[in-house]
Structure 1
Amino acid sequence: MAQISSVFGLWNTSPTRHSAVEDLQGIFTGSLIAALGLYFLASAGLLTGSTAGVAFLLHYAFGINFGLAFFLLNLPFFYLSLKRLGPAFTVKTFIAIGVTSFLTDIQSRLFQIGTIQPAWAALLGGLLLGYGLLALYRHRASLGGVGILGIYLQERFGIRAGLVQLAIDMVVLVFAFGVTSPTVVAWSVLGAVVLNLFVAINHRADRYIAL
């Protein structure tokens, strides 16, 4: 019984390796929290960076389904993930993206936000996305796109993943001026800064080494 509990993560005695069940719960809860953060941003008409930001741009500009756009935009990054970060990371990231895309699409059917002040939505959305990404990173997964690139650069060159994401997110948000107002972009920038500073401060490979 003890062996079964150890294998499935109910009683994992290894301080440096996650069990399958621990990975599954980390990926699901990280994806759930990230999807909730995206819903807060969307409820205020805000955007974020990375592939999620591009998916928001496509959604606002052309009415393309956000979940579908988010999933498809991440597909090219799987080659980098597979070649540089390994099949386990790639599979877990694929699952995380699929779960997040699905949950983001069904959020409005489960509950609805009547009104929310944009600054509050930016703060909550950014923090929730940060918590979600942190959970995924600690289980060797990500939400694809820039997250994959950030993890690779951090592990290869020691550049903080959060800072890599922040730089690219700012570029994505510049393009937001073409589909929304400067005020919305400003609040979106706040959300992106909150998200990426949270990840940069809390995610360091030398502090968390579990696989």
Structure 2
Amino acid sequence: MTAFQRLILRASGSRSRAANAITLRSLITLIEGCLLVALGVRLLQAGGLLVSGTAGMSLLGADLTALSFGSLFFLINLPFYGLAWKQLGLNFTLRTLGCVSLLSVLSDVLAVSLPLGTVSLPVAAIAAGLLIGLGITLLFRENASLGGLNILALHLERRFGIHAGRTTFAFDLLLIAIAALVYPWPQVICSALAFATLSFVLGRYHRRTPQTAQPASPAHDKQVQTAH
């Protein structure tokens, strides 16, 4: 199971207040996360690059059709809400639906209101991976996600025993292979760099989250109490 999927499971299983009710703080955090991801998507669009998951599918589709990224991203995610509800709960699903809808709007607004000239492909790839990764971690903190294939991968693992990491890795390879048929090699290579940067940010967040820390032993607690 990838760090992405472990984060989704942790978010959906959270028992904190943020997991049960929308507060002003959590609402602001969700908006911030979606805005960071939208900025990352805008950089990818400027460089003609892709990223993993349904966002990559939407970017590819937007280049090949007359539909916008936002429209495609919203439509592609529709089939996954049923699985999210079944696997991860109604609260998580509703928050995810809200975040996907907001990102769809923000990305299309930025495509019009934030024109970018020629960008360095490696810089755009790394910056986009960082922005999207940080944005997604903010959404996870508030029991939400951007839906997509990771939810399908978790479902396949639970029902059929197919390792979720293999499912997402296979899809990413397929997406890169399709991109190789559509884009010049510099864009394909830098798209892979965006994939890697996003995965690095999510993996680093997973290792550093306080919820993964080992509980202190009774002996350690006794030492702390004695010290005070």
Structure 2 length as normaliser, TM-score? 0.75
Letter in 2 for 1:83: K
| 8 Å contact kept, 1:118–1:187 | yes
Q: What SS is found at the alignment partner of 2:93?
A: helix
What does residue range 1-211 of structure 1 map to in structure 2 within 5 Å?
16-18=16-18, 20=22, 21-149=24-152, 165=168, 168-203=171-206, 207-208=210-211
Letter in 2 for 1:35: A
Runs of 4+ aligned residues of structure 1 deviating over 6 Å after TM superposition are: 150-157
Kindly tell me: are residues 148 and 138 of structure 1, through their superposed partners in 2, closer, same or farther at Cα, counting changes over 3 Å? farther
Any gaps of 5 or more consecutive residues in structure 2?
A: 1-14, 213-228
Kindly tell me: are residues 176 and 204 of structure 1, through their superposed partners in 2, closer, same or farther at Cα, counting changes over 3 Å? same
Deviation, structure 1 residue 65:
1.5
Aligned length: 193
Kindly tell me: are residues 203 and 160 of structure 1, through their superposed partners in 2, closer, same or farther at Cα, counting changes over 3 Å? farther
- Which stretch of the first structure deviates more once superposed, 46-55 or 145-154? 145-154
Deviations 1:81-102 (A, max 9, x none): 0001000000000000000010
Q: What SS is found at the alignment partner of 1:203?
A: helix
Q: Which has the larger radius of gyration?
A: 2
Q: What SS is found at the alignment partner of 1:116?
A: coil
CA distance in 1 between counterparts of 2:173 and 2:28 reads: 31
Letter in 2 for 1:199: L
Deviations 1:110-144 (A, max 9, x none): 32222210000000001000001111111111111
| 8 Å contact kept, 1:142–1:148 | no
Deviations 1:178-205 (A, max 9, x none): 2211221110000011001210220369
Kindly tell me: are residues 108 and 191 of structure 1, through their superposed partners in 2, closer, same or farther at Cα, counting changes over 3 Å? same
Deviation, structure 1 residue 165:
4.9
Letter in 2 for 1:125: A
| 8 Å contact kept, 1:51–1:145 | yes
Aligned to 2:215: none
Structure 1 length as normaliser, TM-score? 0.80
Deviation, structure 1 residue 29:
0.7
CA distance in 2 between counterparts of 1:153 and 1:183 reads: 34
CA distance in 1 between counterparts of 2:200 and 2:194 reads: 10
